[in-house]
Amino acid sequence: MKAFAIGAVAAAASFAAAAQSSVTLFGVVDAGVARVSATGKGHVDGLMTGGNYTSRLGFRGVEDLGGGMAASFWLEGETATDVGTSAGLNFVRRSTVSLSGRWGELRLGRDYTANYVPFLSFDVYGQRGIGTIEHFATAAGALTVNGAAASDIRNSNSVTYFLPANLGGVYGNLQYAFGERSSSTVASATASKKQGNYAGASLGYASGPLNIGGGYGNFSDVSRAAAYLTDYSIGSLGASYDFGFIKPIFLYQTERADGKLGQPDFKFDTIAIALSAPFGASTVRATYHSYNNKTAGTAGNNDAAKLSLGYVYNLSKRTALYADVARLRNKGSASFVIGGLGGSVVAGAPTAGGTSTAFGVGIRHSF
């Protein structure tokens, strides 16, 4: 994902007062061949997009305002290498404008939620591909956040403050996002003027080989399965230690949906252990994680666990070949299928308590 600086030379000529400014065109084009299987659904062979990194296209830039201040922007959208992004290019991955200085960064627009930052950075697969830690955030029924399909991954309409980089390894952010509901909304079982408002934060410490961080976020009065309101909150904690030849990683996440007006609560936990081991141009990655239903009355009925192993061979800093294999085992009534391929190769949900397996090989090219 090393970006490609365009026009830096021309910029210097055009804007003498902003000599360090740049605009960058960047992206990833990643495709491979995969087979996904699920109990009772056979298997599907197909072309996967983004088996290693999410395929994407973006534009970003920084303008030096002097005195340590900078303005910057970032527009990034997912592409589907397999079908040509037939749904059209958008910038839903990130769309922000920022002002930054020695005091930190103020960022406005659409971006990752504060709670998702640790989940993303402590997943050795970077939340993509066959081996990734599955993010079953909607397991208890579809959530609607800000009027759109549920996701605790990114917030539209967000205002985020980031700590500056010079705090001796401490990093973090503080985020608020608007649900944009009218103050005249009449409260009911499914409506609230606070619906979709979000508040979250993350905090971490990275120094030398150690990285540890956590995040928390709360969505107010989101609707669950279009039936009733719930406060949805999510917290995560991760840690890694880089021994050089091997880097073990630990990740924990807990999600709670607090039903209102007598509706049931839900609670789910994810625990993951992973490692990444570089040698020469290669990296081996392995992950085990379990997803546990802790909801009172149904605890354990909707659990799943996944084991994955992957290999990346770097042809250059920008280009790699990769191979991944994973097996997901459901328990009770759970019927999760291996995702992480952008929906492009899908075997369908296995029968309850069934398994899903996947393997694939591909090429990833960043620019």
Site for a copy of itself in 96-155 (CB under 8 A): 96-99, 106, 108-110, 148, 154
Region near a copy of itself per CB under 8 A, out of 114-122, 180-188, 200-208, 266-274? 180-188
Give first-to-last CA distance, the chain, whole Å.
Answer: 6
Closest C-alpha to 251, from 263, 235, 233: 235
Nearer to a copy of itself, 96 or 236 (CB): 96
In the complex, minimum distance from the CB of residue 155 to a copy of itself, in angstroms, rounded to a whole number = 10
Nearer to a copy of itself, 73 or 171 (CB): 73
The DSSP code sequence of 108-166 is EEEEE-TTHHHHHHT-TTTT-STTSPP--TTTTS-EEETTEE--SSEEEEEEEEE--S-
Region near a copy of itself per CB under 8 A, out of 41-49, 129-137, 228-236, 325-333? 41-49
Q: Report how far residue 208's alpha carbon sits from residue 103's, in angstroms, rounded to the nearest whole number.
A: 24
Residue from 90, 188, 207, 282 that binds a copy of itself (CB under 8 A)?
A: 90
Q: Which of residues 324-363 bind a copy of itself (CB under 8 A)?
A: 344-345, 347-348, 362-363
Region near a copy of itself per CB under 8 A, out of 28-36, 123-131, 255-263, 275-283? 28-36
In the complex, minimum distance from the CB of residue 267 to a copy of itself, in angstroms, rounded to a whole number = 30
The DSSP code sequence of 298-332 is TTTTT-EEEEEEEEEEESSSSEEEEEEEEEEEE-T
Nearer to a copy of itself, 60 or 327 (CB): 60
Residue from 166, 245, 262, 317 that binds a copy of itself (CB under 8 A)?
A: 317
One-letter amino acid at 22 equals S
Region near a copy of itself per CB under 8 A, out of 87-95, 162-170, 215-223, 271-279? 87-95
One-letter amino acid at 214 equals G
